[in-house]
Amino acid sequence: MCDQIGSLESGKLADLVVMEKNPLENIRNTESIKYVMVNGRLFDAETMNELGNYDVKRSKFYWENTKANNNFPWHEETNSFMGGCENGD
């Protein structure tokens, strides 16, 4: 598999994370992820859309599918999964 993985070279698969800030300066900078590459496919971290060779918008995650919303009754009203708490708690 040395011809496919193991180093950063043209034509090899890669898993990596691109950050806007240096995590060696402050560990909180690990929250500044801009892009993720998995098996050579580049994704925008904010939208999870694929970029590069195949500009593809992501499909809905299973919890965003209306069929799964019975598990999250507040989703239909808020369009968020952070609900369910009283008085903004």
For residue 38, give the DSSP letter. Answer: E
Q: Is the pLDDT of residue 38 over 80?
A: yes
* Eight-state DSSP code of residue 56: B
* Residues 66 and 48 occupy one common structural domain: no
Q: Are residues 36 and 70 in the same domain?
A: no
Output 17-21 pairs: Cβ under 8 A, ≥24 positions apart: none
* Per-residue pLDDT, 49: 92
What total of structural domains would you count in the chain? 2
Examine the domain organization and report whether 50 and 73 are in the same domain. Answer: no
Neighbour count for residue 49 (Cβ, 10 Å): 13
Per-residue pLDDT tens over the stretch 50-82: 998 778 888 877 667 666 555 666 555 555 545
pLDDT above 70 (res 85): no
The amino acid at residue 12 is K
Q: Quick one: 13 and 45 in the same domain?
A: yes
CA 27, 38, 36, 16 dihedral sign is positive
Kindly report whether the global pTM for this prediction surpasses the value 0.85: no
Q: Do 67 and 53 share a domain, yes or no?
A: no
Domain that holds residue 78: 61-89
